[in-house]
Amino acid sequence: MAKTALIIGGGFAGCAAAHQLALMGGWKVTLVEKQSELGAGVRTRWYGGHPFTFGPRHFLTPWEHVYGFLNEYLPLRLLKHEFITYVESDQEFYNFPIHRDDIDGMPDREKIDNELEQRVGLESAKNLEEYWISSVGPTLYEQYINTSSKKMWQVDDNREIDTFSWSPKGVTIKEGSRDAWDSRFSAYPIAPDGYNSYFDIATAEAQVMLGTTITDYDIPNRSVVLNGEKKRYDIVVNTIPPDVLYEFEHGALPFVGRDLHQMVLPMEHCFPPNVFFIYYAGQEKFTRLVEYKRFTQHKSPTTLVAMEIPSKNGKHYPLPVLSEIARAQKYIDQMPDQVFSIGRNGTYLYQVDIDDCIAQAMEIREKLSS
Ligand SMILES: Cc1cc2nc3c(=O)[nH]c(=O)nc-3n(C[C@H](O)[C@H](O)[C@H](O)COP(=O)(O)OP(=O)(O)OC[C@H]3O[C@@H](n4cnc5c(N)ncnc54)[C@H](O)[C@@H]3O)c2cc1C
User: What's the 273 CA to ligand 1 centre distance in angstroms?
Assistant: 28
Does the beta carbon of 194 sit less than 6 angstroms from any atom of ligand 1? Answer: no
Q: Does 173 score more than 90 pLDDT?
A: no
- pLDDT above 80: residue 185: yes
Q: Which CATH architecture has domain 3-43+195-252+319-369?
A: 3-Layer(aba) Sandwich (3.40)
pLDDT tens-digit readout, 256-295: 999 999 999 999 999 999 899 999 999 999 999 999 999 9
Ligand 1 pocket member 292 (CB < 6 A): no
Least confidently predicted of 25-29, 39-43, 275-279: 275-279
Q: Over the stretch 6-17, which tens digit does the pLDDT of each residue have?
A: 999 999 999 999
Helices (H), the chain: 12-24, 64-73, 100-104, 109-117, 128-140, 147-153, 196-203, 242-245, 293-296, 322-333, 343-347, 354-369
The DSSP letter of residue 268 is S
Nearest residue (by CA) to ligand 1, atom 27, is 11
- Quick one: pLDDT band at residue 119, thresholds 50, 70, 90? confident
Is any atom of ligand 1 closer than 6 Å to the C-beta of 357? yes
214 lines ligand 1 (CB under 6 A): yes
- Which pLDDT band holds residue 362 (cuts at 50, 70, 90)? very high
- Residue minimizing CA distance to atom 35 of ligand 1: 9
Q: How far is CA 112 from the centre of its chain?
A: 32
The mean pLDDT value of the chain amounts to 94
- Which pLDDT does position 170 carry in this prediction? 59
Convert the pLDDT of each residue in 138-149 to its tens digit.
999 999 999 999
Are the CB atoms for 224 and 122 separated by under 8 Å?
Answer: no
Express each pLDDT in 195-253 by its tens digit: 999 999 999 999 999 999 998 999 999 999 998 999 999 999 999 999 999 999 999 99
